[in-house]
Amino acid sequence: QKEVEQDPGPLSVPEGAIVSLNCTYSNSAFQYFMWYRQYSRKGPELLMYTYSSGNKEDGRFTAQVDKSSKYISLFIRDSQPSDSATYLCAMSDQTGANNLFFGTGTRLTVIP
Amino acid sequence: DAGITQSPRHKVTETGTPVTLRCHQTENHRYMYWYRQDPGHGLRLIHYSYGVKDTDKGEVSDGYSVSRSKTEDFLLTLESATSSQTSVYFCAISPLLAGGQETQYFGPGTRLLVL
């Protein structure tokens, strides 16, 4: 079983829709949770970073962590065609930068 | 791309030849990483460095070596390239302040094709 599971999609939504992207994990020691966005043929770029449980909002993006269920989510409101990308979740269990575990990514297409 | 460049950006090589990829950063961050990204596997850590001349293995280090002689440069060498090493290679950096978790910032990637 992988440490981090992520539905690869692809996911297609109409412009303006609310998008929900999710990851599950098995290691209860994970405390740091990240979402990266990766455009085609580009490197991943950090989108959201949260510590422990709870919600974090940044513009149209909300990251949610439910440690009791070992489940994290990224919500995108009022989705735009420019949001079309692959979204990677990542998480870590300690203050050690070599311990970052990635999901395989979900490919999202927002249709105008 | 957070002050990170990778070279070359694309490379085609033949099985059995040595290949060196370069990562250069202008952020003066302590930690540097090499990942490979393959369909169905996501990002997998090859090697990382926590300082000049300080390196360690990651999840998929077999067939790869690294060197870091300066803070700003981290080299990845494929000793004898194989077709299974065809992949997209990403360099990442992290400040990793003492006592705190910092995330990683990625370069633009190098597409390597081994024929």
Q: Over range A103-111, report the average pLDDT.
A: 95
Nearest CB to B103; choose among A43, A49, A105: A49
The verdict on a CB contact (< 8 Å) between A45 and B100 is no
Q: Over range A15-29, report the average pLDDT.
A: 95
Read off the pLDDT of residues B52-100 as tens digits, 9 standing for 90 and up.
999 999 989 999 999 999 999 999 999 999 999 999 999 999 876 655 5
Nearest CB to A97; choose among B42, B94, B108: B94
Other CB atoms within 10 Å distance of the CB of residue A86: 20
d(CA B20, CA A3): 30
> What values do phi and psi take at A81, rounded to 5?
-55, -30
Closest chain B residue to the Cα of A92, Cα to Cα = B101
d(CA A77, CA A15): 10
Query: DSSP letters of A37-57?
Result: EE-TTS--EEEEEEESSEEEE
The verdict on a CB contact (< 8 Å) between B101 and A46 is no
Pairing of strands B87-94, B110-114: antiparallel
Name the one residue in this structure whose structure tokens are 């993006």. A61
Judged against a pLDDT cut of 70, whether residue A6 lies above it is answered with yes
Read off the pLDDT of residues A57-102 as tens digits, 9 standing for 90 and up.
999 999 999 999 999 999 999 999 999 999 999 988 765 556 788 9
